[in-house]
Amino acid sequence: MKFFIDTANLEQIQEAYDLGVLDGVTTNPSLMAKEGIKGVQNQREHYVKICKIVDGDVSAEVIATDYEGMIREGEELAALDPHIVVKVPCIADGIKAIKYFTEKGIRTNCTLVFSVGQALLAAKAGATYVSPFIGRLDDICGNGVRLVGDIVRMYRTYDYKTQVLAASIRNTKHIIDCVEVGADVATCPLGAIKGLLNHPLTDAGLKKFLEDYRKVNG
Ligand code: G3P
């Protein structure tokens, strides 16, 4: 499974990259706003900075919600750097835009996906990635991980090449759950990725090894 980091924070992206396990980055307008990045020019420069840190796909989301606007914006975003993947919401004009981008060889991430039906349309339009939102489904008493598994099975049954990118991951357990249902990618906050390292037996075992070493070596 590939690891993407779900943030626009350059320090966190660098930290995940330095860990040696980072395959890409996803951003969205809320994550860009969280970093206080205002204005189209500054936002585009920020995407380029992210692309310089990672050697992998970087999702940049369109703000337009109409077909022509998405095409214009998506083409501008894709021209910023070869790592850019154009992130498009799962609405009718978005599906049409994904179809257009696919034919132009521009890679896409279909976002805000909450059902197998939406994932089917994204795959038929040729999306590179589909992003089911786990945490937000769990928030309304749905089952986000089950949706990820359902989409994975549907894509395998029909041999769709679209990769399932589990999004809205809130904790380390979500990552493990995504592994179990066969997600292609998990996009995670840095804390959830680092949480994979935690085990009390690792800490206790390391402490004992070092104590025993010092007993004989001083
Ligand atoms: O990957 C999408 C993500 O940024 C949304 O996460 O926690 O706002 O539902 P969240």
Give the whole-angstrom CA distance, residue 23 versus residue 10: 15
Give the whole-angstrom CA distance, residue 93 versus residue 99: 10
Range of the domain at 131: 2-217
Give the whole-angstrom CA distance, residue 159 versus residue 124: 11
3-state helix, strand, coil in the chain (%, to 5): 55, 20, 25
Probe target for ligand 1 pocket from 4, 27, 30, with the most ligand atoms within 8 Å of CB:
30
CATH number, domain with residue 156:
3.20.20.70
Give 56-84 pLDDT, tens digit per residue. 999 999 999 999 999 999 999 999 999 99
Instruction: Evaluate: CB of 28 within 6 angstroms of ligand 1.
Output: yes
Residue 208 in tokens: 């004992």
Give the whole-angstrom CA distance, residue 218 versus residue 72: 68
Tell how far the Cα of 65 is from the centroid of ligand 1, in angstroms.
19
* pTM tops 0.85: yes
Tell how far the Cα of 44 is from the centroid of ligand 1, in angstroms.
21
Alpha-carbon dihedral sign for residues 80, 53, 191, 4:
positive
What percent of the chain has pLDDT above 70?
100
State the number of CA atoms in the 13 A half-sphere of 187 facing the CB. 30
Q: Which residue has the CA at smallest separation from atom 3 of ligand 1?
A: 168
Instruction: Evaluate: CB of 56 within 6 angstroms of ligand 1.
Output: no
Give 114-126 pLDDT, tens digit per residue. 999 999 999 999 9
Tell how far the Cα of 169 is from the centroid of ligand 1, in angstroms.
7
Residue 87 a catalytic site member: yes
The total domain count for the chain is 1
Confidence of residue 218 (pLDDT cuts 50, 70, 90): confident
